[in-house]
Structure 1
Amino acid sequence: MSARTRGAGALVALVALFTAGYLAPYLLPTVVGRLPAGLGVTPAQAGLVGSVLLLGSSTAGFALAARGDRTGPRPAARAGLLAMAVGYGAAATTTSVPLVVAGVVLGGLGSGTATAVAVAGIAGEHDPHRASTLGLLSVSATAGALYLTLPHLGGGHAGPLLAIAGAAALVWPVTHRLPGAARTVRGAAATSRGPLPYRRTGAVLAGSILCWSLAQNALWGVSGRIGLTQAGLSEVTVGAVFATALGAGLLGVTAAGALGSRLGRAVPIGVGTVVIAGCVLLSSAAGGLASFATGEVLWNAVYPVVLSYLLGMAASLDPHGRWAVTVGSASSLGTACGPVAGSLLSARFGYPGMGLVLCSLLLLVAAPMAAVARRAAGRPLVPGSIRRRGGAPAAVLAGKGAAASLVPQVGAPEQPVAAIPVGAGRRRASRSTFGLARPSDRG
């Protein structure tokens, strides 16, 4: 899956696959919020079910990060979509708690597989930041439309789960645009033997984004309950707030795509995380519609902006997509721990106390993520970045389109350099720099 996927058709397939894989985390508040009414479980147990779903997603991502080169993108994507359709569909049609848990675990594995294929393909695009921005735009628009629609289709847990299963079925036809054949054993071995670049930087990024995702999804997983119980809003009003918030996310992602690399990565990531921490504090202490809507809308406007830069930075660390999948899976692991962490913290300290803890965690991880962004700034957010020392000027030329055919693209193999022995004798010194002897030397 680390092979570069080219063409508009492949990009459409990757964006659609990204949308299907990320839809479950985006719909997490309504999934967790509807489980108590549909299954008769406690809010803490509902949060645990949501965590199990996302834990399956992160497990699949880590597995494919290690063995992705042995599987073709198309078979892996179709396997993930099939697991999503079967797992979420089965969970939606039963009220048995064990069967629902088994279904969401299978669906979570499918979501993680689809996401891993998508982010690995996005890492191979000429501009991974632009590709990840398109994916976030698509999933934000889809989730926003569902938040407006689901409250009018009845209660219970079936609605959101069927929506995720239906999204997987709709994405299936476009997977024919992905590469189908798995690599040969020799080719896969050659790729896996390649050194993983930026190991320390990638490890810090993965650990930081795990905590970053945990803090935000701890609140996201209980946001529905905050709106219903603490702010005293109806389900229709809460759904409208979430839809508006995701609409603001669309504007944020559009702004991030237009901004590109003008401010680098450190400023959007560091400052954006600080703003998110303030929004988390405001939303968790909301006592009415104004404060709840302000916190949720501003938060969701900034969140995808920071996430797009994080995903783009992870993709830029390795054109084969290994860091992109690993960082994405670490994010899914943090997302998986979020709902149960939010449920436990809110039960122990109340919603405002939970928000204070999560705000502190976000402020702690803002500094290392910004530092990683500054350290990784040697690979700019432009197409055709050069994997050489001193390659930045050529990368800028590639981004402007000058002499594009003469500039090696991301992931292009290095040209072998033949060593030419230099002797002290006049006979050897007379040979040309291309290693060819004069006619008089051949006799």
Structure 2
Amino acid sequence: MTPSDTLAGRPRRFPTAKADSVLAGILLSFLATAGLFYVNIMAAIVDGLVSGLGLTDAQAGNIGSANIYGAALGALIAIILIKRIKWRPAAIAALIGLIAIDILSIFITDASVLIYVRLFHGIIGGLLVGISYGVIARTANPDRTFGVLLFVQFGLGGLGVMLLPRLVPIYGPQALFIALILFSLASLAMVPFLDRYPPRPKLSGALAGTIQKKPLTYTLLAIFLFQAVNMALLAYIIRLGITYGLERDYVSTALGLATWVALLGPGLVIVIGTRYGRFWPLFLVMGLTLAGTALFHFSGNKAAYLIANCGTGITWGMVMAYLLGMASQFDASGRTAAAGGFVSKIGLATGPVVAGQVLTAGYGFDVILNGALILFVVSTVIMLIPARQLDRQSRILLDDTL
């Protein structure tokens, strides 16, 4: 860490991590993850509410959905506020708010009350994520920082899914909210060690001007489709395995292993960043996504199910790191990065709803998998358009500096 000379004209009391270092990326990742950590441990939360509070599957699912839809609303608010507020005080206030609501949630046993409390929790959490994404957009290499973010989320999410279900029978559902409180407290302790991250200066040449609406639209649409399709599969991935004849214990083991293997995806983004541009990495990785999704058709084979989960997990983290990094490139203040976070949450909330309707209508998993393959192809075509444009602009800027 290096001391920052001043903050708003006053000496800093804390040493700060170098603005664009890996350490700073980790600190920012904890800040962003704190607002949405419950999504990473959603399976544990839903199971804990059912087994610990005696709620029905539908009630527990609705509480989880309320949290996510609230987060989408909070992210939308962040798009409006990111240019007008000081991010550090806003982040601290949001973290304190999350802690207070999680403490309150410990004492609530009524599902109809808890759903509104968690909705409000989601709004504050979404606002924090939107602010964090806006700050990440101000770093020198947002793609790499988003890679760090997803690495942290996958790693801690896997740990939470492994440990929390074992704690609920012993300590009750309160263990879930205590875990969220501890994570928020840890994130709160990290905030003072972050640098200032003022809005990036306006860029010259091909990237100058206001928000680039057309490539941004393509990027946001790609984020929505990619997240919706992935979450539609993930929400029912246990049922898919069991339907194809796999044992529940093996399915759980495969998913746990896949969560850790998936760390390779964002890890690769951390290592290579945009060294090879964005077009070709996305083109190749989306090819692997299609292959992994097609492999789910053979889920009756244990190896096929495991490989498909590991492969799609790796590509999920890698593609989202690039897409969120791309979204951050279309203005200097961080608004478009916050917009990427908003659209991502809408996609995550929409996918399971659509997949559930397909299954309820009597169609099988073959229909869901084939629909996923088609939408992944569409998403690939859409995301490659702004990726190629950003690669060209980067080459123009590089040529201008030589």
TM-score (structure 1 length as normaliser)? 0.74
How big is the alpha-carbon RMSD for the aligned residues of Structure 1 and Structure 2?
3.2
Q: How do 1:142-153 and structure 2 match up within 5 A?
A: 142-153=156-167
Which runs of no fewer than 5 residues in structure 2 stay unpaired?
Answer: 1-7, 9-17, 200-207
Q: Structure 1: how far apart are the matches of 2:319 and 2:364?
A: 28
Segment drifting more, 251-260 vs 131-140: 251-260
- Residue 170 in 1 paired to residue 189 in 2? no
- Residue 207 in 1 paired to residue 221 in 2? yes
Q: How do 1:350-365 and structure 2 match up within 5 A?
A: 350-365=364-379
Q: Structure 2: how far apart are the matches of 1:369 and 1:181?
A: 28
Q: Please state how far the C-alpha of 1:171 moved relative to its aligned partner.
A: 0.9
| 1:74/1:274 CA distance change after superposition, 3 Å | same
Query: Any idea what SS the aligned residue of 2:364 has?
Result: helix
Q: Structure 2: how far apart are the matches of 1:271 and 1:22?
A: 29
| 1:340/1:162 CA distance change after superposition, 3 Å | farther
The 8 Å contact of residues 378 and 392 in structure 1, kept in 2 or not, is answered as: no
Structure 2 counterpart of 1:196? 210
Structure 2 counterpart of 1:81? 95
Q: Which amino acid aligns with 1:340?
A: V
Query: Any idea what SS the aligned residue of 1:70 has?
Result: coil
Structure 2 counterpart of 1:321? 334
Q: Structure 2: how far apart are the matches of 1:221 and 1:262?
A: 34
> Deviations for 1:262-282, whole angstroms, at most 9, x for unmatched residues?
432122223323432443344
The 8 Å contact of residues 48 and 168 in structure 2, kept in 1 or not, is answered as: no
Structure 1 counterpart of 2:205? none
Q: Structure 2: how far apart are the matches of 1:18 and 1:39?
A: 29
Q: Structure 2: how far apart are the matches of 1:19 and 1:162?
A: 16
Q: Which amino acid aligns with 1:273?
A: M
Query: Any idea what SS the aligned residue of 1:6 has?
Result: coil
The 8 Å contact of residues 83 and 110 in structure 1, kept in 2 or not, is answered as: yes
Structure 2 counterpart of 1:291? 304
| 1:103/1:356 CA distance change after superposition, 3 Å | farther
Q: How do 1:94-173 and structure 2 match up within 5 A?
A: 94-154=108-168, 158-173=174-189
Q: Which amino acid aligns with 1:345?
A: V
| 1:102/1:287 CA distance change after superposition, 3 Å | farther
Structure 2 counterpart of 1:345? 358
Which runs of no fewer than 5 residues in structure 1 stay unpaired?
Answer: 184-193, 398-443
Count, aligned residues: 375
The 8 Å contact of residues 35 and 41 in structure 1, kept in 2 or not, is answered as: yes
> Deviations for 1:294-338, whole angstroms, at most 9, x for unmatched residues?
221111111111111111111222232111111121111111222
Q: Which amino acid aligns with 1:393?
A: D
The 8 Å contact of residues 218 and 382 in structure 2, kept in 1 or not, is answered as: yes
Q: Structure 2: how far apart are the matches of 1:318 and 1:375?
A: 15
| 1:359/1:52 CA distance change after superposition, 3 Å | farther
Structure with higher Rg: it is 1
Segment drifting more, 366-375 vs 109-118: 109-118
Q: How do 1:240-279 and structure 2 match up within 5 A?
A: 240-279=253-292
- Residue 26 in 1 paired to residue 40 in 2? yes
- Residue 330 in 1 paired to residue 336 in 2? no
Q: Please state how far the C-alpha of 1:213 moved relative to its aligned partner.
A: 0.8
Q: Please state how far the C-alpha of 1:369 moved relative to its aligned partner.
A: 0.8
Q: Which amino acid aligns with 2:398?
A: A
The 8 Å contact of residues 144 and 242 in structure 1, kept in 2 or not, is answered as: no
The 8 Å contact of residues 219 and 284 in structure 1, kept in 2 or not, is answered as: no
The 8 Å contact of residues 70 and 120 in structure 2, kept in 1 or not, is answered as: yes
Segment drifting more, 208-217 vs 333-342: 333-342
Structure 2 counterpart of 1:59? 73
Segment drifting more, 37-46 vs 199-208: 37-46
The 8 Å contact of residues 133 and 334 in structure 2, kept in 1 or not, is answered as: yes
Structure 2 counterpart of 1:393? 399
The 8 Å contact of residues 47 and 340 in structure 1, kept in 2 or not, is answered as: no
Percent pairwise identity: 23
| 1:35/1:366 CA distance change after superposition, 3 Å | farther
Q: Please state how far the C-alpha of 1:170 moved relative to its aligned partner.
A: 1.7
> Deviations for 1:98-146, whole angstroms, at most 9, x for unmatched residues?
1221232122223212211221111111111221111122222111222
Q: Which amino acid aligns with 2:356?
A: S
Structure 2 counterpart of 1:50? 64
Q: Structure 2: how far apart are the matches of 1:119 and 1:76?
A: 13
Q: Structure 2: how far apart are the matches of 1:91 and 1:347?
A: 32
The 8 Å contact of residues 269 and 310 in structure 1, kept in 2 or not, is answered as: no
Q: Structure 1: how far apart are the matches of 2:178 and 2:252?
A: 17
The 8 Å contact of residues 315 and 321 in structure 1, kept in 2 or not, is answered as: yes
Q: Structure 2: how far apart are the matches of 1:394 and 1:121?
A: 27
The 8 Å contact of residues 253 and 304 in structure 1, kept in 2 or not, is answered as: yes
Q: Structure 2: how far apart are the matches of 1:343 and 1:212?
A: 17
